[in-house]
Structures are given as structure tokens and as C-alpha cells.
Amino acid sequence: MNYWYLLAAIPVFGLLVFVHELGHFLTAKWAGIRVEEFGLGLPPRIVGIRRRSGGGWEVIWFNGGSRLHQPAAVAATDDFWPPTASDSGAGEREGSPTAVPPPSSTIYSLNLLPIGGFVRMPGENGEMYDEYGRYDPESFAAKSAGKRLIVLVAGVTMNFLLAIVLFSIAYSVGEPVIPPVIAKVAPGSPAAAAGLRPGDTFLSVNGQPVQQFSDVQNSVQQAIAQAHGQATVPVHIVIRHADDPQPVALTINVRVNPPPGQGPMGIERGNEVRYVTYPLWQAPLKGITQTFSVTGQFISSIVQMVTGAVKPEIAGPVGIVQMTGEVAQTVPTIGWWPILTLTGILSLNLAIINILPFPALDGGRVLLILIELLRGGKRLRPEREGLINLVGMAILLMLIVVVTISDVVNWSAR
């Protein structure tokens, strides 16, 4: 493998994270939430820009010029913190010191580690007050539950939309397929017994039209799955011989348990690749269908791993980088289909993982808001909510470390 192709993971990760965080950013601006920083990559910061209050732009190198606001703890007698009517105003609380408010313009930053991104908003852990104890009407926590939910699910929604766009583009530029043409017939196999020869083209299998070799395989496997213990299964096919344009209907008794190195019919496909393109009006429909299909498969896999039906298989950042590099290496020979579809799949994975109801993820924050609604508007104390998200983040980081070590070991063993 040419290791330069591993660099393809940077624009792939960058696109996924940018679109996800853009969803949070745009909806936060719509909701009237002050966005302190919109960053690509994870800190430390390399460079950032921010609009000056008097016009023009300010360049910020590293962490210079950035001001982090740590809201003070708000006392409460209950684990859930109901804001009072006096807290909902925009003015300062009596006795709080006078201070210059934080800059309202957003820092747009590029950070050192190209494996993530973030939108930093005040009040993400439930704090409604700044470090001077004043009510902050532009904080995330000060907004209604509906607006907060919209901001939280916007990133996931954008990743779903990105997957639809990527799959649509992939179908419009051309899907590489292996045509349903036989390259080799094993002696003594069911295919040989039925009179199939190299160069024959499948037209249909069990009444279902086929357009690529995988369609033939899927139809045969479906027939075998319904065999209920039979040694052979009759499969009805329509083929066209290479030397005869007339279709021929045949029945093949495929093996349920074929010999090693042979498929159920005893045939091999060729290496020819054809490209099937779809018009612009049809490609988005294919893209939407593919998006829902991949989403269903991914959710089913999660359920099976949780229930123990299948062994958990999780790829971390290193595994995804390796996978992306291997797929990117096929672009010069196969075209853009593999990298576009892989990016679409990764976008859906990012969306579904983020919406899981686990602390520190978008889904975990959504769960806290739903609990708040069920309790009639009572919220967790900011310190308690922050602790929950901190513990969740620690668990996620430990999981990433474990998965990364596993990815590195597997990679080095190859």
C-alpha cells in the first residue's frame, strides 16, 4: 500500500466534522446563542480569525486573544435546578460586579489535531450565568428546550443530508459493477451439469432480473436460505449463450454445502468492470434509498452487538484512516465511487453514534433535555450536568485509546 493515500483521511474527516459542526453553528446562530468558537480539528489552536467590532478581521495565533469563560457554580437545594422568574431577565443581578461583556464575534479556528472539531457555546453544561454571576441571555442553557433540541440534533441531521448528497453524486458519476457473465465453470459442478459455459450471461434468477454478478449470488443465497435442510436447491435461471442471442431457460440444482473453493453453482465471475450511471433526477432517489438502507444495517449491527448475537467489531481513528487510505488507492483505477460511498457511510456512522443516549454525546444531552421536560421544566444542577458529561467524555476517551491500540496491533500484524 502507498502510505501517501493515508492522507486522504484528512479531507474525509474534515468534511464530516465540518458539516456536523456547521449544523450546530447555524442553528445556534438562529436560536440567538453566542458561539465563542467554531473550530476545525482539536486544540491546541494553530490560527483563528475573528471579526473586529469596528470592522475588518483580527488574526489570532495559537491561544492568544481567546478568553475562556468559566461560569461560577449556582447554588441549589435540589439536584434539579428550576430557574426562577427573576433569573429569566436580561439584566444583572444585584451586587454583581460590573465588567466588560465577552466579545460577541465568533473565532473561526484551525487546530492542530485533524481528527475532530467543535462549536463552543456558553452554557453547554446548563450554566445560565457568566463568571460574574450575571444572567447570560445568549447562553445555550438560557434558551427554550425546543431550541436546544434543534441545536443538538442539527449536527446529526446534517450528516444524514451529507450522506444523501454523497451517495447521489456516487450514483451519478457511475457505480462500478461486475457484469453477470460466467468466466469459468468447474468440472462436475451443478453449472456444468446444466450446460453452462464460460461467456454465458445471466438474465434472471428465480424470476428476478439481474444486472450484475452480485445479483446472481444474492438470489442463489436467498434460495439456499429457504432450503430447510435440503442438500440441493433447484434454481430457475434464464441465460444467453455467448454464441446464441436467444435466451435459454434452465434449472440448476445448486449445492447447499459446496466443495471448498467452489460456490453453490460452481462458477466464477470475470474481472471486467462496467459503470452504471443514473440521470440527475434518479440519482437522488438512489441516494436516499442507499442512506436508509445503510442506516438500517448499522442500527441492526449495533443491536446485535449489544445483545451478544455477533462479536463487537469497532474501528477507531487509526482503523478508519487505514480503511480510507486503502479505498483512496483504488480511485485511479475504479473511480470516485468507492471513496464517495465510504465517506457517506462514515457520515451515517458519525450521525448514529452521536445520537446515542450516552453522556457527552449529542444524544446524551438530548436525553437530559427530555428528562427536564418530563419533570415539568426542572433541570439538573449545572455542576451535576457537567460532571455527567465529564464522566461520559472520560469513558469515551478510554474507549478510543483501547480501540486505537487494537487497530495499531492489527495493522502491524498485517
Q: What is the pLDDT of residues 184-233, one digit of tens each?
A: 999 989 999 998 999 999 999 998 998 889 899 888 988 888 877 778 88
Question: Is residue 135 within 8 Å of 142, Cβ to Cβ?
Answer: yes
Residue 113 and residue 197 in one domain: no
Q: Does some domain include residue 64?
A: yes
Write the CA distances from 4 to 10, 261, 410, integer angstroms.
11, 35, 20
Residue 69 and residue 106 in one domain: yes
Of 272, 307, 326, the last residue of a domain is 272
Helix (H) or strand (E) holding 365: helix 362-374
Residue 50 and residue 130 in one domain: yes
Backbone torsion region of residue 41, taken as left when φ is above 0, otherwise alpha when ψ lies between -120 and 50, otherwise beta: left
pLDDT band at 167 (very low <50, low <70, confident <90, very high): very high
Cα separation, 223 vs 75, in Å, equals: 67
CA 328, 331, 333, 338 torsion: positive or negative?
positive
Residue 147 and residue 188 in one domain: no
Cα separation, 35 vs 23, in Å, equals: 13
User: In the chain, how many domains are there?
Assistant: 2
The DSSP letter of residue 143 is S
Q: Return the percent helix, strand and coil in the chain, to nearest 5.
A: 45, 20, 35
Residue 43 and residue 153 in one domain: yes
Q: Tell me: cis bond preceding 44? Omega within 30 of 0 counts.
A: yes
Residue of higher predicted confidence among 89 and 355: 355
Residue 87 and residue 209 in one domain: no
Q: Does some domain include residue 379?
A: yes
Question: Is residue 209 within 8 Å of 180, Cβ to Cβ?
Answer: no
For position 104, what pLDDT does the model report? 62
> Which CATH number is 194's domain given?
2.30.42.10
User: Over the chain, what is the mean pLDDT?
Assistant: 84
For position 98, what pLDDT does the model report? 42
Q: Does some domain include residue 393?
A: yes
Q: Does some domain include residue 214?
A: yes
Residue of higher predicted confidence among 94 and 283: 283
For position 414, what pLDDT does the model report? 62
* Range 239-249 average pLDDT: 88
Residue 203 and residue 240 in one domain: yes
Is it the case that residue 276 has pLDDT exceeding 80?
yes
Write the CA distances from 251 to 222, 232, 233, 300, 392, integer angstroms.
16, 12, 10, 35, 58
Residue 31 and residue 65 in one domain: yes
For residue 226, count other CB atoms closer than 10 A to its CB.
8
Is it the case that residue 373 has pLDDT exceeding 50?
yes
Of 235, 257, 272, the last residue of a domain is 272
* Range 392-403 average pLDDT: 85
| pTM passes above 0.85 | no
For position 80, what pLDDT does the model report? 39
Residue 64 and residue 120 in one domain: yes
Residue 70 and residue 138 in one domain: yes
Side chain identity at residue 294, one-letter code: V
For position 269, what pLDDT does the model report? 86
Angle at CA of residue 37, ends 32 and 41, nearest 5°: 135
Of 222, 241, 272, the last residue of a domain is 272
pLDDT band at 1 (very low <50, low <70, confident <90, very high): low
**Beta strand pairing call for 247-255 and 267-269:** unpaired
Residue 44 and residue 145 in one domain: yes
For position 83, what pLDDT does the model report? 45
Three cell numbers at 392? 461520559
Query: Can you tell me whether residue 268 is helix, strand or coil?
Result: strand
Helix (H) or strand (E) holding 309: none
Q: Hey, what long-range contacts does 49-58 have (CB within 8 A, 24 or more apart)?
A: 49/107, 49/108, 49/109, 50/103, 50/105, 50/106, 50/107, 50/108, 51/105, 51/106, 52/105, 53/103, 53/105
Backbone torsion region of residue 292, taken as left when φ is above 0, otherwise alpha when ψ lies between -120 and 50, otherwise beta: alpha
* Range 26-33 average pLDDT: 96
Q: Does some domain include residue 292?
A: no
Q: What is the pLDDT of residues 88-139, one digit of tens each?
A: 433 433 334 444 445 568 999 999 887 778 999 998 888 888 777 788 899 9
Is it the case that residue 146 has pLDDT exceeding 50?
yes
Residue 361 and residue 379 in one domain: yes
Cα separation, 64 vs 372, in Å, equals: 38
Expressed as residue numbers, the domain containing 389 is: 3-170+341-413
Q: Does some domain include residue 316?
A: no
**Beta strand pairing call for 267-269 and 208-209:** unpaired
Q: Does some domain include residue 320?
A: no
Q: Does some domain include residue 32?
A: yes
